Amino acid sequence: MTGILGAYRGNFGRVTVLDITRPITNHAHPDIHMLFALSGAPRGMQIESERIHLTRDNWILVNPWQRHFDIAEQCIAPTQILALYINRDWCNERFMWPTFAGSQCPMSPAIRQRVDMLARLVGNGESLDSAWVEPLVASIMIEAARLAPTRQAGRGAMDFRIRRALMMLKDHARVGSDFQALARSVGLSRSRFFEQFKNSIGIAPNMYVDGLLIERAIGLLEQSDQPLDDISETLGFSAQSSFTRFFKERVGFPPSTLRQASSAHQ
């Protein structure tokens, strides 16, 4: 069973310290996602088509909307992980963050020291001051940018119809979104919409919506007292059990665990 040892949300995004066993299914995030092993067993993961092992000797960088998942047979024993979810706008304002190749990145003594320090701060269960956490996160990002291999952008200008669809999804994403109606509203057939969407974003519309729903659910769980039943209904789930299963498969633990951890660390 996955446990949250600590969690913190700031202007940069959020950081979570996890003790994780349950394999996480195929998903994607709108944020820059970084994973650092703290202790425990190596963890097998796949990012796009590349299979890698997360250990204390490396770290993993996942670009926004890059699909990734755990390899179930290589994620049996517990692993303690520090997970960063960095807001792209916050990052770009400070570092002009480029597009990285993603996947496995080399560990350095500077990153190891800062990650372990951040894990201790977030995992000790005490109230945290942004004056401590955010500069530490920023220093990790600066060192990460130095180490991570870059890549040239592989996609051209986004189709204006897909840009319109993204704006509509951002405001109205729900379980069971009607992609046929969405495609028609931007002047595309359903098949052409799916093709253009994947060419522009890198993932299918349904995975994109799943990512939006997870982020919205996390925000509601961390920053409101709204009951789980109400959150489930707000996101379009027919039952709380369906929401819990959806959340646990993509995050690694049920929404109630995040709610309890967020309350404990406020």
Kindly report the CATH number assigned to the domain that includes residue 39. 2.60.120.10
In this structure, are 62 and 91 located in the same domain? yes
In this structure, are 94 and 216 located in the same domain? no
The percentage of the chain sitting over the pLDDT mark of 90, rounded to a whole number, equals 59
In this structure, are 85 and 215 located in the same domain? no
Give the domain CATH number at 181: 1.10.10.60
In this structure, are 142 and 164 located in the same domain? no
Asked if residue 154 belongs to a domain, the reply is: no
In this structure, are 138 and 203 located in the same domain? no
In this structure, are 213 and 113 located in the same domain? no
d(Cα 84, Cα 233) in Å, to the nearest integer? 28
> 97, 122, 147 — which closes off a domain?
147
Classify the phi-psi angles of 151: left when phi > 0, otherwise alpha if psi is within -120 to 50, otherwise beta.
beta
Asked if residue 176 belongs to a domain, the reply is: yes
Asked if residue 91 belongs to a domain, the reply is: yes
Asked if residue 44 belongs to a domain, the reply is: yes
- The structural domain count of the chain equals 2
d(Cα 79, Cα 76) in Å, to the nearest integer? 9
> 94, 112, 147 — which closes off a domain?
147
Cα 68 to Cα 26, 92, 198, 211: the distances in Å are 6, 23, 15, 12
Asked if residue 89 belongs to a domain, the reply is: yes
Q: Mind listing the pLDDT tens digit for each residue in 8-57?
A: 889 999 999 999 888 899 999 999 999 999 999 999 999 988 899 999 99
Q: Mind listing the pLDDT tens digit for each residue in 230-248?
A: 999 999 999 999 999 999 9
Amino acid letter, 19: D
User: Angle 160-172/190-201 helices, nearest 10 degrees?
Assistant: 90
Tokens linked to 48: 């796009």
Say what the pTM is. 0.89
The whole-number average pLDDT for the span 160-167 is 93
d(Cα 68, Cα 39) in Å, to the nearest integer? 21
Strand partners for 3: 19
In this structure, are 45 and 87 located in the same domain? yes
The whole-number average pLDDT for the span 60-64 is 91
> 121, 147, 173 — which closes off a domain?
147
Structural domain span for residue 224: 160-264
Asked if residue 153 belongs to a domain, the reply is: no
In this structure, are 37 and 95 located in the same domain? yes
In this structure, are 205 and 75 located in the same domain? no
In this structure, are 234 and 102 located in the same domain? no
d(Cα 111, Cα 107) in Å, to the nearest integer? 7
State yes or no: pLDDT of 125 exceeds 80.
Answer: no
In this structure, are 41 and 141 located in the same domain? yes
In this structure, are 126 and 168 located in the same domain? no
**pLDDT classification of 129: cutoffs 50, 70, 90:** confident
